[in-house]
Amino acid sequence: MSRPILLVLFLLIVVFTSQFEWNQHNLNEVEVRPLSVSQKQQFSLEKEESVKEKIILSQEKYIQKLKSQVQSLQEQLLVCKGKNDVANDTTGSLTELLNELNHRQIME
């Protein structure tokens, strides 16, 4: 074989193999991209879920605080009611007030 033909063959082989490697490289990139997008979406969803959990926890703490304030106000109301009853009627007793308070707490 002559030299120019060998050179052309060698050049063709190089071109074909480089094309094959280039296509393989592109396919790998395409496969990696959806993975990275999926990972980003997953991270975003996890972050959003975490924020929701924090909001729910803060709301639960606020509700507990409100419940304790309501209970405290109910106790104060019963005490005031008891003082008023004692002033108006000497038969009112503290144990009745405590029983009423306990009954209300049980009802809640």
Per-residue pLDDT tens digits for 5-59: 888 888 888 877 776 665 555 555 555 555 565 777 888 888 999 999 999 999 9
30 residue type, one letter: V
Q: What burial letters (b/e) apply to 29-54, b meaning 16+ CB within 10 Å?
A: eeeeeeeeeeeeeeeeeeeeeeeeee
Closest CA to 68 of 106, 95, 105: 105
Domain spans in the chain, listed from the N-terminal domain onward: 3-107
Contact between 74 and 104 under an 8 Å Cβ cutoff? The reply is yes
The pTM score is 0.43
Query: Side-chain half-sphere of 56: how many Cα atoms within 13 Å?
Result: 6
